[in-house]
Amino acid sequence: MSAVWRRALSQRLLSHNFNSKMRKIVFITNVLDAMKGLKKGKRIEGALYVDKNTGVLTFKPYFRKQTTYVADKLICYLEDGWVKESARRIKVHVSFNKLLGIARILSMLERDTRDAKNALINKEMEGSL
């Protein structure tokens, strides 16, 4: 772009009246719910479209459900991990240092597995699992 074109473009932009106001009416569905979210300082996501029947510019907000997270219940601590109960699963986590060697890790894994089994059996006998 040459300097002449740049100068002409900048003069055109400077001479444009940016103070002119353009007004457009937007119909908002579920306006009360949208205003509640705006008052809380939230952004309202949605779809902006021209209605085929009326020809009116329409904004339809998305009201997505907030997912609720339920924390896992701790059944017992193991020497190198834990056993937890979620809504659908029993989770066992064990972590070992690699420097211990395979033989020692395998014996520790068997010990922690036995402790986890005993904790689950005790929980079942109490009737709360």
- Closest residue by Cα to residue 50 from 22, 33, 26: 26
Write down the pTM of the prediction.
0.50
CA distance 25 to 119: 65
* Residue at token pair 């395979």: 102
Helix (H, G, I), strand (E, B) or coil at 40: coil
Helix (H, G, I), strand (E, B) or coil at 76: strand
Rounded mean pLDDT for each run of 10 residues along the chain, 129 residues in total: 62 59 75 86 87 84 84 94 94 94 95 94 84
Domain ranges of the chain: 21-66, 73-126
- The answer to whether residues 38 and 44 touch, using CB atoms and an 8 Å cutoff, is yes
